[in-house]
């Protein structure tokens, strides 16, 4: 071990204490051995360094930092160089703000458009997610700060996120939910990773040896540290034995005591503890050295400009009838929509950034060569109808040649801690769109939303620009594109389906029981729509430009492809060339085709270039559950190259040799998966896929330490049911107010055990056991345990603190 000398000097109390956090964001220092403390902060699209009281939900203010577009936005750029540059800037800001570990990027798969945190995630596709994440990580870590890709793994649902068991077959786990992390770790060389709240196949992600040891460390060669999500630790000792290093945020010394008991009883070995300490020491010591002589400031203006550039390259032009965009110079426009006055530019929750400055369309539109006839909010962003507001907007629309309408999802639609229940934008916006369309046919829509939305109203628009959540400089980015200063080049990182009912996990998501069953298997996003021949509104990889590109001369070798791309139009522009691979008549069921490579190429008007996209270890592989490894099926693979998943311009075949004769499936027993009709997979078939019995997700009456507060609905104790009712009423009230109450949401979905993990030592697990007894109807027994536990916890904490305060 690298730090054997220090470890030899550490007492077991010091080792155990070192493996859990000291406060909301810091690790514990051990002064007598010269071990410093390091600081972690969210987040993925801007730094959220709380200088004062820490909370992890974005409630207390943080130091001003640049708010860049969120991951869901940047993924539309398909530009790994841009991602790396953004990572560098994030790293630079983090360093200057005294942050050593940046808690991001988030790269969970967008299993359903409903997931409340999709705005923080890259894509429905693991390859694109992984490549983008790796680029951020390279950039961040080049500045001496460590990135912390999250949430590892299968954390695609917010509802009861801390008390949910993801039931997923091994192949889907590997191909869909882990491949992005594999790329992030192997290519991005992430030095830390965050374990998710949920269980994966019955074991908490943070205790999951299969995930943390067999796959992450042994297969992928990860040599950094695993940090728990905030409050995600269940049994710290099992976590440490499985390869998890740092329990966050602040369990006090309760978790450390549990660790010592576990070592003394032989539940885990001291070698395991030493290894985790060694890995953590390596990270802490390196980060501490990296931060010496750091710059204390960053260039706010420069970073604002970078935020704008990233937003510009990430916007997706969905529609542009009769070339209405770019607007001609001096066009007579009406600016309508509350988002033009007060943009929706980031999501709610732990990723919330306190901006250095915020641009709005209404403030800066005068910098553009447009004749603005007026500006009107048009709708209430909280969804309430307002006839006077609407009339004002309609009157204004009548006076202009073109209406620029800024709209989309409001704040309470998408947030950490909640999943959407539908994919619609607020009805008052839809009504306004319909009426604006009657008044003025030249309607140009600018959408802000962090995830896919239903667009049954899209035919009202001549043009639609999807800006996702584009950060503090997003206003200028959208106006640059609308006026043609920049030619749009973004392409969708996810499919926009026609309706929610068309999504593959519609019937399985979000699960309301203890388990969430991933019955749709590998059929996520375009993998499903294509296989099941479901028409979509805008396909994965789609996006328009003001110019057009042609594809020719596809050449395939064993190393990869070469193809010529020509800019056929009169404007310079960039094209995202996508390579998909499929195996017609495959023996092992699979999607029609899958993304296996892409490149963004900038071409001047009339220019052509030969671009190369290499094959890699992921090009032809599938995970074989019988050989328990990646294999290649022999066959004639089709290589499809195109401008989107639905716009393949050129294709050819290549024969690839197989790697095994061992076949994983019995086709007759997996008919849904062979046909792709996975909307109603029967139990027997899902069990065949899983290779085991489906775990029972129902509640059996008694609640446990791992059940969430919202399960008190089932509690035996009337008092607990009352608390449940109160919490539900608070949640409902917040929902009605149009602003998510993150505290209530967090508690609502939080398991009882988290009280011992997040209260800085005020509550320990013994007290939690008492509380659970009360909930289960044993009031006096439970109360007795809570009270005696309180005194015991206090005195044990004091004794432990004394041991840690030793000077030598």
Binding site for ligand BGC (CB under 6 A): 42, 56, 103, 150, 229-230, 350
> CB-wise, 179 or 749, nearer to ligand BGC?
749
> CB-wise, 351 or 545, nearer to ligand BGC?
351
DSSP 580: E
Q: How far apart are CA 339 and CA 317, in angstroms?
A: 18
Cβ neighbours of residue 219 closer than 8 Å, sequence gap 6 or more: none
For residue 752, the minimal CB distance to ligand BGC (Å) is 17
For residue 423, the minimal CB distance to ligand BGC (Å) is 23
DSSP codes, 324-348: --SPPTTEEEEEE-HHHHS---S-B
With H, G, I as helix, E, B as strand and everything else as coil, classify residue 360. Answer: coil
3-state secondary structure 635-674: EEEEEEEEEECCEEEEEEEEEECCCCCCCCCCHHHCHHHH
Contact 710, 418 (CB under 8 A): no
> CB-wise, 131 or 757, nearer to ligand BGC?
757
Choose, from 79, 125, 169, 229, the residue flagged as catalytic. 229
User: Omega into 17 within 30° of 0, i.e. cis?
Assistant: no
Buried/exposed 593-620: b ≥16 CB within 10 Å, e otherwise: bbbbbbbbbebeeeebeebebebeebbb
> CB-wise, 60 or 203, nearer to ligand BGC?
60
* The two structure tokens encoding residue 490: 């973004």
Radius of gyration of the chain (CA): 27
Query: Would you call 229 a catalytic residue per the annotation?
Result: yes
Helical H segments across 557-598, by residue range: none
Cβ neighbours of residue 167 closer than 8 Å, sequence gap 6 or more: 201, 202, 515, 516, 517, 518, 690, 694, 695
Contact 227, 245 (CB under 8 A): yes
For residue 112, the minimal CB distance to ligand BGC (Å) is 18
DSSP 120: G
Cβ neighbours of residue 29 closer than 8 Å, sequence gap 6 or more: 22, 35, 36, 37
For residue 42, the minimal CB distance to ligand BGC (Å) is 5
With H, G, I as helix, E, B as strand and everything else as coil, classify residue 466. Answer: strand
Q: How far apart are CA 595 and CA 588, in angstroms?
A: 18
> CB-wise, 22 or 267, nearer to ligand BGC?
22
Contact 622, 175 (CB under 8 A): yes
Give the residue at shortest CB distance from ligand BGC. 56
For residue 43, the minimal CB distance to ligand BGC (Å) is 6
> CB-wise, 103 or 446, nearer to ligand BGC?
103
Q: In this structure, are strands 370-376 and 331-336 parallel, antiparallel, or unpaired?
A: parallel
Distinct helix (H) and strand (E) counts, the chain: 24, 26
For residue 116, the minimal CB distance to ligand BGC (Å) is 11
Q: In this structure, are strands 199-200 and 203-204 parallel, antiparallel, or unpaired?
A: antiparallel
Distances (CA, A) of 422 to 115, 460, 502, 670: 10, 21, 12, 30
Q: Of 750, 124, 169, whose CA–CA distance to 517 is shortest?
A: 169
Q: How far apart are CA 170 and CA 56, in angstroms?
A: 32
> CB-wise, 211 or 639, nearer to ligand BGC?
211
For residue 719, the minimal CB distance to ligand BGC (Å) is 28
> CB-wise, 44 or 378, nearer to ligand BGC?
44
Contact 752, 762 (CB under 8 A): no
* The two structure tokens encoding residue 325: 């965009």
> CB-wise, 82 or 196, nearer to ligand BGC?
196
For residue 151, the minimal CB distance to ligand BGC (Å) is 6
> CB-wise, 42 or 530, nearer to ligand BGC?
42
Burial class from Cβ neighbours inside 10 Å (0-12, 13-18, 19+) for residue 521 reads buried
Q: Of 319, 361, 627, whose CA–CA distance to 457 is shortest?
A: 319
For residue 759, the minimal CB distance to ligand BGC (Å) is 15
Cα 324–chain centre separation: 34
For residue 117, the minimal CB distance to ligand BGC (Å) is 8
> CB-wise, 346 or 350, nearer to ligand BGC?
350
Q: How far apart are CA 415 and CA 424, in angstroms?
A: 15
The CA-to-CA distance between both ends of the chain, in Å, stands at 23
Q: So which residues are the catalytic ones?
A: 229
């Amino acid at each position: 071990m690298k730090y054997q000398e220090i470890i030899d000097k550490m007492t077991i109390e010091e080792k155990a204490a070192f493996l859990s956090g000291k406060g909301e964001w810091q690790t514990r220092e051990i002064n007598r051995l010269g071990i410093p403390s390091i600081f972690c902060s969210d987040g993925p699209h801007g730094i959220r360094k709380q200088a004062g009281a820490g909370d992890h939900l974005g409630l207390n203010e943080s130091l001003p930092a640049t708010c860049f577009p969120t991951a869901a936005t940047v993924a539309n750029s398909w530009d790994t160089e841009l991602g790396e540059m953004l990572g560098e800037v994030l790293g630079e800001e983090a360093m200057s703000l005294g942050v050593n570990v940046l808690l991001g990027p988030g790269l969970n798969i967008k299993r359903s458009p409903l997931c409340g945190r999709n705005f923080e995630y890259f894509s429905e596709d693991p390859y694109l997610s992984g490549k983008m994440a790796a680029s951020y990580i390279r950039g961040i870590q080049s500045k001496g700060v460590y990135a912390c890709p999250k949430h590892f793994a299968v954390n695609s649902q917010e509802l009861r996120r801390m008390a949910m068991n993801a039931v997923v077959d091994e192949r889907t786990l590997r191909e869909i939910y882990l491949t992005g992390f594999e790329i992030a770790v192997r290519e991005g060389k992430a030095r830390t990773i965050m374990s998710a709240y949920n269980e994966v196949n019955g074991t908490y992600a943070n205790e999951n040896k299969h995930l943390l040891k067999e796959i992450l460390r042994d297969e992928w060669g990860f040599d950094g540290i695993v940090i728990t999500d905030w409050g995600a630790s269940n049994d710290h000792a099992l976590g440490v034995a499985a390869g998890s290093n740092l329990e966050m945020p602040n369990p006090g010394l309760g978790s450390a005591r549990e660790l010592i008991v576990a070592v003394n009883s032989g539940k885990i070995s001291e070698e395991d503890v030493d290894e985790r300490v060694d890995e953590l020491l390596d990270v802490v010591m390196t980060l501490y050295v990296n931060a010496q002589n750091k710059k204390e400031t960053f260039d706010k203006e420069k970073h604002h400009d970078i935020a704008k550039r990233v937003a510009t390259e990430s916007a997706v032009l969905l529609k542009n009838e009769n070339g209405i965009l770019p607007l001609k110079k001096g066009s007579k426009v009406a600016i309508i929509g509350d988002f033009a006055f007060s943009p929706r530019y980031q999501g709610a929750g732990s990723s919330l950034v306190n901006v250095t400055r915020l641009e709005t369309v209404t403030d800066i539109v005068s910098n553009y060569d447009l004749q603005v006839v007026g500006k009107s909010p048009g709708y209430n962003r909280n969804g309430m109808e307002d006839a006077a507001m609407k009339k004002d907007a309609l009157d204004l629309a009548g006076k202009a040649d073109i209406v620029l309408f800024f709209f989309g999802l409001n704040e309470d639609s998408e947030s950490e801690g909640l999943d959407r229940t539908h994919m619609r934008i607020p009805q008052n916006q839809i009504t306004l769109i319909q009426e604006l369309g009657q008044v003025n046919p030249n309607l140009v829509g600018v959408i802000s939303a962090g995830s896919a939305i239903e667009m049954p109203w899209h035919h009202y628009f001549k043009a639609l620009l999807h800006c996702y959540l584009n950060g503090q400089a997003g206003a200028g980015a959208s106006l640059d594109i609308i006026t043609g200063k920049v030619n749009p080049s973004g392409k969708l990182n996810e499919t926009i389906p026609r309706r929610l009912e068309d999504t593959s996990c519609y019937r399985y998501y979000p699960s309301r029981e203890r388990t969430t069953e991933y019955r749709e298997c590998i059929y996520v996003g375009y993998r499903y729509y294509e296989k099941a021949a479901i028409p979509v509104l805008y396909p994965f990889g789609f996006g328009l430009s003001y110019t057009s590109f042609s594809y020719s001369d596809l050449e395939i070798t064993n190393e990869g492809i070469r193809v010529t791309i020509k800019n056929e139009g009169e404007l310079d522009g960039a094209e995202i060339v996508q390579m998909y691979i499929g195996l017609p008549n495959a023996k092992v069921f699979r999607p029609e085709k899958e993304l296996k490579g892409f490149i963004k190429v900038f071409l001047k008007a009339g220019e052509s270039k030969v671009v190369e996209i290499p094959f890699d270890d992921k090009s032809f592989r599938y995970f074989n559950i019988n050989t328990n490894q990646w294999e290649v099926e022999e066959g004639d693979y089709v290589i499809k190259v195109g401008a989107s998943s639905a716009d393949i311009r050129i294709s050819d075949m290549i024969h690839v040799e197989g790697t095994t004769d061992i076949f994983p499936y019995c086709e007759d027993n997996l008919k849904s998966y062979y046909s792709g009709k996975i909307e109603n997979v029967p139990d027997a078939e899902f069990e065949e896929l899983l290779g085991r019995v489906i775990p029972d997700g129902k509640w059996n009456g008694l609640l446990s330490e791992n059940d969430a507060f919202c399960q008190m609905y089932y509690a035996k104790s009337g008092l607990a049911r009352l608390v449940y009712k109160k919490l539900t009423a608070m949640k409902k009230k917040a929902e009605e107010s149009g602003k998510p109450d993150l505290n209530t949401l967090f508690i609502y979905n939080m398991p009882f055990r988290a009280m011992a993990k997040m209260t800085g030592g005020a509550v320990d697990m013994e007290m939690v056991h008492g509380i659970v007894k009360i909930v289960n109807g044993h009031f006096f027994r439970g109360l007795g345990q809570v009270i005696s536990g309180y005194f015991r916890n206090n005195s044990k904490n004091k004794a432990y603190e004394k041991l840690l305060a030793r000077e030598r």
